[in-house]
Amino acid sequence: MSKENLDFFTVGVIAVLAGAGIVVMLIKTELARASGVKSGGRLFLAAALGMGIVAFTIKLTTFMLMAMLPKQIINPLMVERRFVEILPADWSKMPYIRRNDGPYRWQALPLQAPAPAANPTTPEKTALGKRLFFDPDLSLTRDVSCASCHDVSGGSGVDGRRTSKGIRGQLGGRNAPTVWNAAFQAVLFWDGRASSLEEQAKGPPLNPIEMGMPSGDAVAQRVRESAGYREDFDRAFGKGAEITFDRIAMAIAAYERTLITPNTAYDRFVRGDRNALSPAQMRGMALFQSIGCIACHFGANFSGASFANLAAGDLPAAVATDNGRFRMFPGNDTPYIQRYDLVADKGAAGPGSDRGIWRIPSLRNVAITGPWLHNGSVDKLEEVVRIMATSQLAASVDTVPQPGRTIFWSPADHSVSKVDRPVLSNADIKDIVAFLWAITDDELATKVSRRGTPPVKPTKG
């Protein structure tokens, strides 16, 4: 009960007690003596004169019960009205609404990542790219490599920092995304500024905080000076192929296209192993769909910004546009905005925006890639689920109540849509986390466990 409600209740109780006392004293000292009624009549007279007090007591009791009832019972009965200029069916602009396009199809990750025709994946190119990925000589101070921020050897594909460390100990402004399954993403970086792995691979070497090289040619010159690279380039690109920054990026991209995890418990389940998921993971999978997480994190790679989704004919056409690859975050006002400083960085949003616009990240292997979110501000996966549920789905959780029902009126086509917002218990959140473990590769999780203390893996319950 809030302080205001408690104060009102306290004053009400005092008023009831005072009123009852006055009525009793009045009857005992004046009215009973004047009317000559006995003790039984006095009780009837007190009840008659005190009906107002009785009615107020009933109202006060009702108020107390409503104030004390669990929020998840009260909230679904509440209605919030919204008047919007967009069509209610446009779910890309209202991420907690999904169009009724038929049953949602769960998809396993392809066993091979797509490669552009201009840069086919070959064993020779992959071997060269792996060497370049781990080579710190590609940085100005010769002590930072791609693997410094994207630790594939340790399992997670990230560095475990809130924001990554570059040359001379400088810290970047954003959390390093995992490199695992990045090959399936149609746009890269948190703000989606790169449209291919080749383009993305050119970013960190030239970033003054990350690897600090002055130019692409300076990077190529470092490689030319290093022993053995000449033969590697001959094998990857043909005899006498010039060592250029473009080809360095192509080789790194080819290696990154081999960093995929198509054998999670979830993938095994979708491919036919009905024992691959625990009961908790099955419950979490159902919640992931029913509350609307699939509005953004759908398809084989659990991201609206993925190639695997854009090629699937059974998904909404809106996904095949740039609008389907990005979302505003946070979408709704919640206490988490200030708690985790979520709007200091606006991502791809334009000037003057009070919210960020971000590429929809893949959720594969998310259980081992903490700390989470674009600024690395959250240390617990359960908290991430609460943040996303309240901020993006307008759901009610234990700490952030929301109105349970929203009515949308669209002046554009004179239509009304009713949305029943999700109400999540702590048990629901744990089940969703269990499902996020199901889309995390077991071998990678084991590697992370051996190198440190990973997030606690849920039980089989």
- CATH at 412: 1.10.760.10
In the block, which residue shows the tokens 């319950």?
A: 461
Residue 116 counted as domain residue: no
C-alpha span between 105 and 189 (Å, rounded): 27
Separation of CA 46 from chain center:
61
Please give the Cα distance from 302 to 109 (Å, whole number).
9
Residue 36 included in any domain: yes
Last residue of a domain, one of 227, 256, 285: 256
Question: Does 336 share its domain with 437?
Answer: yes
Same domain, 34 and 151: no
DSSP 365: T
Joined tokens for residue 298: 């759908």
What residue type is 79 in one-letter code? Answer: V
458 preceded by a cis bond (ω within 30 of 0) = no
Distance of CA 227 to the CA centre of its chain: 44
Q: Are residues 62 and 79 in the same domain?
A: no
* Residues 302 and 441 placed together within one structural domain of the fold: yes
What is the C-alpha radius of gyration for the chain, rounded to an integer number of angstroms?
A: 30
Q: What is the DSSP string of 183-200?
A: GGBSSBSTT--BSSHHHH
Look at residue 394 and tell me if it is in a domain.
yes
Q: Which of 379, 401, 265, 268 is nearest to 332 (CA)?
A: 401
Map tokens 């994946």 to a residue: 121
Instruction: Please say if 231 is a catalytic residue.
Output: no
Helix H or strand E encompassing 270: helix 265-270
Of 211, 228, 256, the residue that ends a domain is 256
Among 80, 124, 210, 231, the one annotated catalytic:
210
Asked if residue 149 and residue 52 are part of one domain, the reply reads: no
pTM, 2 dp: 0.76
Q: Specify the amino acid at residue 83.
A: F
Phi, psi of 367 (to 5 degrees): -65, -20
Q: Is the peptide bond before 371 cis (omega within 30 degrees of 0)?
A: yes
Q: Is 77 helix (H, G, I), strand (E, B) or coil?
A: helix
Of 294, 376, 263, 281, give the one whose Cα is nearest residue 105.
Answer: 294
Residue 115 placed within a domain: no
Same domain (yes/no): 203, 286: no
Residues 360 and 389 occupy one common structural domain: yes
Q: How far apart are CA 426 and CA 250, in angstroms?
A: 46
Structure tokens given for 235: 């094998």
139 belongs to a structural domain? yes
Q: Which tokens is 263 given?
A: 């054998």
Q: Is residue 118 part of a domain?
A: no
CA dihedral 276, 110, 155, 209 (to 10 degrees): -140
CA distance 48 to 10: 25
Query: Cβ distance 342 to 330 under 8 Å?
Result: yes
Interatomic CA distance for residues 401 and 334, integer angstroms: 9
Q: What's the confidence (pLDDT) of residue 46? A: 64
* Together in a domain, 235 and 381: no
Retrieve residue 264's tokens. 């999670």
CA-to-CA distance for 354 and 187, rounded, in angstroms? 23
Statement to judge: residues 221 and 300 lie in one domain: no
Nearest CA to 395 out of 351, 375, 367, 425 is that of 425
Cβ partners under 8 Å of residue 201, min gap 6: 146, 248, 249, 252, 253, 256
- Strands of the sheet with 79-83, listed across from one edge: 79-83, 405-410, 415-420
Does residue 361 sit in helix, strand or coil? coil
Domain boundary among 195, 224, 256: 256
- Both 42 and 95 in one domain: the answer is no
- CA 151/CA 160 separation, integer angstroms: 9
Integer distance in angstroms from the first to the last C-alpha of the chain? 34
Q: Is residue 385 part of a domain?
A: yes
Whether residue 223 is found in the same domain as residue 133 = yes
Phi then psi for residue 407, to 5 deg, are -110, 125
The count of structural domains within the chain is 3
Domain that holds residue 163: 123-256
In a domain, 159, yes or no: yes
> pLDDT per position in the chain (461 positions), as tens?
555 666 777 877 787 787 777 766 666 666 556 566 556 565 666 666 667 777 778 877 777 776 665 554 554 445 555 444 333 333 333 333 343 456 899 999 999 999 999 999 999 999 999 999 999 999 999 999 999 999 999 999 999 999 999 999 999 999 999 999 999 999 999 999 999 999 999 999 999 999 999 999 999 999 999 989 999 999 999 999 999 999 999 999 999 999 999 999 999 999 999 999 999 999 999 999 999 999 999 999 999 999 865 444 333 333 334 557 999 999 999 999 999 999 999 999 988 899 999 999 999 999 999 999 999 999 999 999 999 999 999 899 987 877 666 776 777 778 887 777 888 999 999 999 999 999 999 999 999 988 764 454 554 55
Q: How far apart are CA 17 and CA 211, in angstroms?
A: 75
**8 Å CB contact between 209 and 170:** yes
